[in-house]
């Protein structure tokens, strides 16, 4: 894989929390439009890796490049601004602001990067429509179902057209059928935007939606499975 094709490229990442070795020489790369599942037992380091890739955690050593730019060479403020523009995040429990409407939740990241309110609202409506919950834009997040909230979380993560989408157990709180719909929508929209996707999951059926599976055990990548 040529480096220029990569949206995310991590090499030889090491990170320890005290005596606990979380990452012990991890290499992983994801290209534009590709979806990669990160799998492994609890405590294997997969969520830690995801947070390193997002720039929230800083590894003790090794290098992470997002869009070819080394995160380690940025100040914390630069890294935060870079993440805001280029990375979308989806969490297991949505992480929406419960007092705001779904549309307001989706416009939030757009407004943080300076998008005009009218444009942000139109973008939110478009995405909520695409996810099949257009009629719920005015509903307060705390009052909708888990599946609807997770669709809104997907819309929020993709609203600014991120180069990279990082998802931590995005359907872990949903039943199988609802989770499958949300995942299809997430990967479908990300694919249209040519976004690189990394999904942390315990669920083999979620992993089967991805182009590739990277398995982590004890902070190391096992031989990655390569599939068409």
Partner 1 sequence: MGIVVVMSTSKTLLALLESEPAHGYSLKHRYDTALGQPRKIGFGQIYNALASFEKRGLAEVESVEVEAGPARKRYRITAEGVEAVEDWLCTPEPPEAYASAALLTKVSVALLSGRDPQLVLTSQREAHMSRMRDLTEQRRGAGGAHLLAITYELSHLDADLRWIDESGQRLQQGRMSYG
Q: Parallel, antiparallel, or unpaired for β 164-168 and 196-200?
A: parallel
Burial class (CB in 10 A: 0-12, 13-18, 19+), 55: buried
Phi, psi of 139 (to 5 degrees): -80, 140
Measured between alpha carbons, how far is 82 from 9 in angstroms, rounded to an integer? 16
Residue closer to partner 1 (CB basis): 49 or 213: 213
The one segment of 48-56, 64-72, 133-141, 201-209 that binds partner 1 by CB under 8 A: 201-209
Taking residues 171 to 190 in sequence order and writing x for each that binds partner 1 by CB under 8 A, - otherwise, the string is: -------------x------
**Shortest separation between residue 207's beta carbon and partner 1, angstroms:** 7
DSSP 223: P
**Shortest separation between residue 161's beta carbon and partner 1, angstroms:** 25
- Which residue from 207, 214, 216, 221 is in contact with partner 1, where contact means CB under 8 A? 207
Residue closer to partner 1 (CB basis): 145 or 204: 204
Taking residues 40 to 69 in sequence order and writing x for each that binds partner 1 by CB under 8 A, - otherwise, the string is: -x----------------------------
User: By CB under 8 A, is residue 192 in contact with partner 1?
Assistant: no
Which residues are within 8 A (CB) of 169 and not within 5 positions of it... i.e. 6 or more apart? 91, 92, 200, 201, 202, 203
């Amino acid at each position: 894989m040529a480096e220029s094709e990569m949206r995310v490229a991590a090499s030889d990442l090491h990170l320890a929390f005290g005596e606990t070795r979380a990452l012990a020489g991890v290499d992983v790369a994801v290209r534009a439009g590709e979806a990669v599942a990160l799998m492994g037992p609890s405590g294997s380091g997969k969520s830690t890796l995801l947070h390193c890739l997002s720039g929230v955690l800083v590894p003790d050593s090794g290098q992470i490049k997002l869009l070819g730019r080394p995160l380690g060479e940025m100040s914390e403020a630069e890294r935060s601004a870079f993440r805001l523009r280029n990375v979308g995040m989806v969490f297991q429990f949505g992480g929406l602001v419960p007092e705001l409407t779904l549309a307001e939740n989706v416009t939030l990241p757009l407004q943080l990067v300076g998008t005009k309110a009218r444009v942000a609202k139109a973008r939110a409506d478009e995405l909520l429509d695409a996810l099949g919950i257009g009629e719920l834009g005015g509903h307060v997040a705390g009052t909708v179902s888990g599946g609807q909230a997770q669709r809104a979380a997907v819309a929020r993560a993709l609203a600014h057209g991120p180069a990279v989408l990082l998802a931590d157990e995005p359907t872990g709180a949903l039943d199988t059928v609802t989770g499958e719909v949300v995942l299809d929508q997430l990967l479908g929209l990300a694919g249209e935007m040519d976004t690189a996707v990394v999904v942390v999951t315990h669920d083999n059926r979620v992993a089967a939606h991805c182009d590739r599976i990277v398995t982590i055990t004890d902070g190391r990548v096992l031989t990655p499975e390569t599939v068409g």
